[in-house]
């Protein structure tokens, strides 16, 4: 299996949106009601917002046989980066693709001092992945998404 990691381009938007939708529904089933997931996805992964992500953020995709199977996205502000997503199709998890995406992102962020990520408590795949990569919890708090309360963990990785 040949995994190619590269920067996203505008032509990747539809495939990224598909990965995000499948991944969100798989990951947050039982944690976030489906209607709230759909509302979040419609806004955060709209065509307009995705064009901005491609142009203004670090957005990497993972391809196998020229098909996008996952992506990672980070925003930067000052000397700090925020990892907003590493999403893969479920059948692609556990194959090192998430690690390759994170490594590619960290390479792009080599001049930054730290990267933060937020994970919903109960997202065990996410919690275990980030812990294995050296992220540590700096804060736990209640967040609200479209009126639905979430228990969020904020993690950091010094770079």
- The whole-number pLDDT of residue 120 equals 96
pLDDT tens digits for range 36-95: 999 999 999 999 999 999 999 999 999 999 999 999 999 999 889 999 999 999 999 999
- The whole-number pLDDT of residue 79 equals 87
With a cut of 90, say whether residue 1 has pLDDT above it.
Answer: no
> Selecting from 3.40.50.300, 3.40.630.30, 3.40.50.720, 3.40.190.10, what CATH number does the domain 3-158 have?
3.40.630.30
pTM over 0.85: yes
With a cut of 90, say whether residue 139 has pLDDT above it.
Answer: yes
What are the domain boundaries of the chain? 3-158
Q: How far is CA 136 from CA 23, 29, 62, 110, 140, in A?
A: 23, 25, 25, 19, 11
pLDDT tens digits for range 145-154: 999 999 999 9
pLDDT tens digits for range 23-44: 999 999 999 999 999 999 999 9
């Amino acid at each position: 299996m040949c995994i190619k990691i590269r920067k996203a381009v505008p032509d990747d938007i539809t495939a990224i949106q598909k990965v995000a939708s499948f991944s969100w529904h798989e990951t947050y089933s039982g944690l976030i009601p489906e209607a709230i997931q759909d509302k979040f996805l419609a806004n955060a992964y709209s065509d307009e917002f995705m064009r901005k992500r491609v142009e203004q953020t670090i957005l990497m995709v993972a391809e196998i046989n020229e098909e996008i199977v996952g992506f990672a996205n980070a925003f930067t502000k000052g000397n700090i980066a925020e990892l907003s997503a590493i999403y893969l199709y479920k059948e692609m998890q556990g194959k090192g693709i998430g690690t390759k995406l994170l490594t590619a992102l960290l390479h792009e962020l080599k001049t930054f001092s730290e990267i933060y990520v937020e994970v919903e408590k109960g997202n065990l795949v996410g919690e275990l992945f980030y812990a294995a990569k050296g992220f540590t919890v700096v804060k736990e708090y209640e967040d609200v998404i479209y009126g639905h309360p979430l228990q969020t963990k904020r993690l950091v990785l010094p770079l």
